[in-house]
Structure 1
């Protein structure tokens, strides 16, 4: 049974002369499923998340999430921490919007920081934390509200490769434990294969769904286990080939083609 149901979704920003950002997107996401959305830059992946979060209204189509009263967590590419609040107080900020008691806010914030291994840094301010630690605070803030739906917009894109790989594995463990339904936007094929149950490949703008690929590796994964799995190289190559025409089209004609056409 689907938890997120997107039907015929299209979106256009005002008088956008570039045409629609999203066009006739239809997708069902099961409860507790982890779905990764891959596509070329600027195709509309973030707009899709914003529609799901209720920040943007679709121009056409419908979006249904649960029974309409679900709690949604959103983790952005930049941590977006409040600089005048400590790590603990930043995590508490999201909880304060839920109307929970002060004692419940404190307890749940502490538990969320423990989940991301930052309990000993709870009283530090953002400028005292590394980029990876700041992103973990942002992740804790998103998880602390115990979301029914967790939306993530390239949360690790700005981090170095080593920090990113650690946080990816950490995220996988956290999401499996909290049982949240998760939709992740990413440019990283390896990240999608490490984390997701299914990968949705989007076309260039206006974004449509080009393909949906099942990921066969099961819930218990690590970077090492994927590399050792003989199915991994073939699936990775398959996704690259699915993305190639979309990225090429989004990039436009090459300099040589432009010269020839002139």
Structure 2
């Protein structure tokens, strides 16, 4: 996504080493993310993809380097929402009250909380299910509720850590297209962690391929399918299969490095 303005987020030579460990999780990460861009992070398990999300969410600090937000060296407050693979809904609260939870923590008045929660539920097609409880929803509906909880915050930045990984293929494909429609509609900058190459190709403007630990950015792949897209059109695009093979080839030695069983001949843990 070409632009002449400063990036919304810039990682500059970022490294992370956790206390009581000597080996870094990541080192020398340089990445710029533009406003409204959807960037997918893909790499072997445990390589540090989620750590990048946690750094942006303020859940942990970089050991080395800097993370600049909106070109202001981190001085501009960024509203972010984090959606995990597990919906993490509170079972004793209704769906609507789950969606309101983050707004409560932010001190939003009750009437405004209810309005924003209802709007977010409508966006994910759960408007008629707000008074139900999580156990009354299917897995896909629970994940929609988790997404609504994030959207109700009206975030500048949406962080997604394998949000559809636990869902069946059909439900996942519908939610992928729904997510893409929502973030395009609101221009939400989105960072997605995924192990699914097809998901990255469907959703992302760019795909960041990461190495095994210590994680570095191996390559950034620009996705040529346009901002407005649907699953069927992406699958039919003549560049889809070559790009899938390119990313698999980039990941193959990294998966082998992180899992000796792959190098020894066991099946690869890569989406096809």
Q: What TM-score do the two structures reach when normalised by structure 1?
A: 0.95
**Mapped contact 2:209–2:220 kept (Cα < 8 A):** yes
| 2:217 corresponds to 1:194 | no
**Aligned-partner SS, 1:240:** helix
1:78 match: 86
**Aligned-partner SS, 1:243:** helix
**Mapped contact 1:197–1:214 kept (Cα < 8 A):** yes
Deviation at 1:100, TM superposition (A): 2.0
**Aligned-partner SS, 2:221:** strand
**Mapped contact 1:146–1:178 kept (Cα < 8 A):** no
1:234 match: 242
Tell me the distance in 2 between the aligned counterparts of 1:168 and 1:33: 16
1:15-64 superposed Cα distances (whole Å, 9 cap, x missing partner): 114x1101111100001100000000010111111011000011111112
Deviation at 1:254, TM superposition (A): 6.0
Change (3 A) 1:253 1:135: closer
| 2:52 corresponds to 1:44 | no
The equivalences for 1:1-262 within 5 A come to: 1-17=6-22, 19-66=23-70, 67=72, 68-252=76-260
Change (3 A) 1:52 1:107: same
**Mapped contact 2:256–2:263 kept (Cα < 8 A):** no
**Mapped contact 1:4–1:28 kept (Cα < 8 A):** yes
Tell me the distance in 1 between the aligned counterparts of 2:78 and 2:263: 49
Give the root-mean-square deviation of aligned CA atoms. 1.3
Tell me the distance in 2 between the aligned counterparts of 1:126 and 1:81: 7
**Mapped contact 1:8–1:62 kept (Cα < 8 A):** yes
**Tell me, which stretches of 5 or more residues in structure 2 are unaligned?**
1-5, 266-272
Tell me the distance in 2 between the aligned counterparts of 1:91 and 1:255: 44
Q: What TM-score do the two structures reach when normalised by structure 2?
A: 0.91
2:268 match: none
Tell me the distance in 2 between the aligned counterparts of 1:217 and 1:87: 35
Deviation at 1:96, TM superposition (A): 1.5
1:68-125 superposed Cα distances (whole Å, 9 cap, x missing partner): 2110110011001111111100000011122222111100000000000001111111
**Mapped contact 2:255–2:262 kept (Cα < 8 A):** no
